Structures are given as C-alpha cells and as structure tokens.
C-alpha cells in the first residue's frame, strides 16, 4: 500500500465558493486501488503556494502526489509551472499518455498543459480539474503506476518483462 496526497488548485474552491468534486473523486479511486490517502488540500491557483505544498509533501516522503486543476489556459492556471519549479526529473511519458488517451475522448485534451515528474522519492502528476476527466485519466494510468513507484522507491529493479 502506497501513501498518496491530493492537491486541488482552485481559487474559488480555496475560498469556499465552489465545492471540490475532483479531490474527493481522486481519493475514492485511490482508496479503491489500495492507496492510503494521507493528505488532501485545496489551494488557490498560486504558483508559490502550490510549489511550497509540493515540496512539503515530497519532504514527507509521500510516494504519489496528484494535483487536480490549474492545467489549462486561464491566466491563473499555474499548476504545471509550480510542478516544474520543484521536480528534479521529468516523467513526460505519463503526461503524454494521459493526453493521448484523453484525446480519444475529447479534442480539448490537447489544451492540457499538465506535467509530471519526480522530486526526491515522490512522483507528482498533474491531472485535469473535472471529476469525469480525473476518473478517465486514473483508470488509464493507475495500473502502470505501481510498477513505476516500486522502481522509484528501489522496491523493484527490473523493468523488463519476464
């Protein structure tokens, strides 16, 4: 069982003006997949606040950190920049796979600026801001993430299939 954290980036959500539906959706999916969700936060779309929280969570050695929201074209969409500010290694294949699979559902997936990467022993993945899109993305990537987390944490050393 891996520990996981969730960050929702939403100005209105952080002010209590909009209910966060994506964060709880992620939590439910992760728990059903046998992850232990140890942190859930709703933050304003502020690059520094998001980066600081990502640093805090990775310093706590939480293996999987998922963000939701703030990945589009709006002036206040800062999640990818905050993520790039803190990661040490990019994992572009994850974000590319999410976009490729999402493009099969909607052409708007091409508007995603989401990124993913590793900081210390934490994998950080930006997800879209809607519950529907979150479900679609997690359904696609979760089966492969366990292997990636095992490799990142040195619990497994082989990527080759037997």
Each residue's pLDDT tens digit, 73-126: 999 999 999 999 999 999 999 999 999 999 999 999 999 999 999 999 999 999
Q: Going by C-beta distance under 8 Å and a sequence separation of 6 or more, which residues neighbour residue 100?
A: none
pTM value is 0.96
pLDDT at 157: 74
Q: Which H or E run contains 12?
A: helix 11-14
Res. 66 pLDDT band, cuts 50 70 90: very high
Reference 28, options 20, 37, 18; nearest CA is 37
């Amino acid at each position: 069982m891996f520990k996981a954290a969730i960050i929702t980036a939403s100005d209105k959500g952080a002010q209590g003006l909009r209910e966060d539906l994506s964060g709880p959706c992620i939590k439910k999916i992760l728990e059903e997949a046998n992850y232990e969700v140890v942190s859930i936060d709703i933050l304003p779309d502020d690059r520094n606040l998001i980066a600081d929280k990502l640093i805090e969570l990775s310093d706590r050695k939480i293996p999987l950190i998922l963000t939701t929201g703030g990945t589009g074209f709006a002036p206040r969409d800062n999640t990818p920049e905050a993520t790039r500010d803190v990661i040490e290694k990019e994992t572009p294949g994850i974000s590319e796979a999410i976009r490729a699979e999402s493009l099969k559902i909607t052409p708007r997936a091409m508007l995603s600026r989401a990124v993913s990467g590793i900081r210390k022993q934490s994998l950080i993945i930006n997800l879209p801001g809607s519950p529907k899109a979150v479900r679609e993305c997690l359904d696609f990537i979760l089966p492969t993430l366990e292997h990636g987390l095992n490799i990142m944490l040195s619990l497994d050393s082989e990527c080759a299939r037997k």
